[in-house]
Amino acid sequence: MVIGIGSALVVNVYMPSLERKLTLKQVEVENKLQHILIEIAEYLRTNKKLWTEREITETVQLIKEAKSIAFREVENNFFRKEDYYYHYFTIREKQMDLLVRMLPTLEQVHPMIEQRYIIADFLDYVASYFYTGRMGQPYLEKLKRVEEDFRKVAPPENWEMFEARAHLLMIVRELEYYFSIMNKLKLDQKKLVFN
């Protein structure tokens, strides 16, 4: 029994690490998420849908694959109690689910009202700092200012504008949740990915 356990520990120590592969997957996921946020901002400015069903499906699949690799890394490493990458890809999976849920609401906003541009500017801001390792708190604070800007705009003139503003406010709430999820990720400073 001792020989069996000892052999298992020795093999475990020499198992090849998947960390390089996980780092590359992390960069790929962040590129795709950043691209989707930019496309959403562009849609808000122009009413032109740039994302495709295939792009969304590929991103969801990429996150699932990366999470599976991260899980294998945890299972292969006996001495590691907590895994950054598994936790990271779980958070990204939840965020991607949220974006997928948000897109149909976004597509229901047709009139080009001022609030669309406010949210588009916010999403451009988020996309421009996507690789800096910022947690969700600075984004949540900026999102509160976006809500304050919403309140400063004159009341809607008709039902269509009222409905559009209501949908945009729902999107703001979804974005709040998106960034509150990000706050749950405890980043190890050595593993942050910078572009």
CATH at 87: 1.20.120.940
Average pLDDT by consecutive 10-residue portion of the chain (195 residues)?
A: 61 60 90 93 93 93 93 66 80 92 90 89 85 67 86 85 90 88 58 40
Within a 10 A sphere around the Cβ of 91, how many other Cβ atoms?
Answer: 17
Give the total number of structural domains in the chain.
Answer: 1
pLDDT at 97: 93
Nearest CA among 175, 169, 179, 174 for reference residue 109: 169
Do 94 and 174 meet the contact criterion of CB atoms below 8 Å apart?
Answer: no
The owner of tokens 């942050």 is 192
Threshold 0.95, pTM exceeds: no
Confidence at residue 133, expressed as pLDDT on a 0 to 100 scale: 58
Q: What integer pLDDT is reported at residue 147 of this predicted model?
A: 86
Predicted pLDDT of residue 65: 95
Residue 100 has what pLDDT? 93
Please say whether the beta carbons of 107 and 49 come within 8 A: yes
pLDDT the model gives residue 195: 34
CB-CB neighbours of 89 under 10 Å: 26
- For residue 62, the enclosing domain spans 2-191
CA distance 101 to 166: 16
Q: Which two tokens stand for residue 10?
A: 């020795």
